[in-house]
């Protein structure tokens, strides 16, 4: 089971880890692939339930991306 550092970023609405964000570069911020938002929360500021949901979502997305 993965553990997150307190300073890792997650989408404020969807709780998607910034590993899966899209876009970016020097002229635009990265954004959430689901809601297209750029607002983020630090892992240390998530509630317990948000942390559980974020971890579950991360594991699902990681499996989908790397274990096709």
Instruction: Tell whether the model's pLDDT for residue 2 goes beyond 90.
Output: no
pLDDT at 61 over 90: yes
Show contacts of 22-26: CB within 8 Å, 24+ apart: none
Question: pLDDT tens digits for 15-52?
Answer: 999 999 998 777 778 899 999 999 999 999 999 999 99
Q: What is the pLDDT of residue 58?
A: 95
Q: Are 7 and 41 in contact (CB under 8 A)?
A: no
What's residue 1's pLDDT?
Answer: 65
Instruction: Give the H or E element holding residue 31.
Output: strand 30-31
With residue 66 as reference, give the H or E element that holds it.
Answer: helix 48-66
Predicted local distance difference test score (pLDDT) of residue 28 = 77
- pTM for the structure as a whole: 0.86
């Amino acid at each position: 089971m993965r553990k997150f550092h307190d300073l890792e970023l997650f989408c404020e609405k969807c709780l998607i880890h910034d590993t899966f964000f899209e876009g970016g570069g020097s002229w635009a911020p990265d954004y959430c692939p689901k809601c297209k938002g750029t607002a983020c929360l630090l892992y240390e500021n998530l509630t317990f339930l948000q942390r559980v949901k974020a971890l579950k979502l991360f594991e699902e997305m990681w499996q989908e991306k790397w274990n096709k």
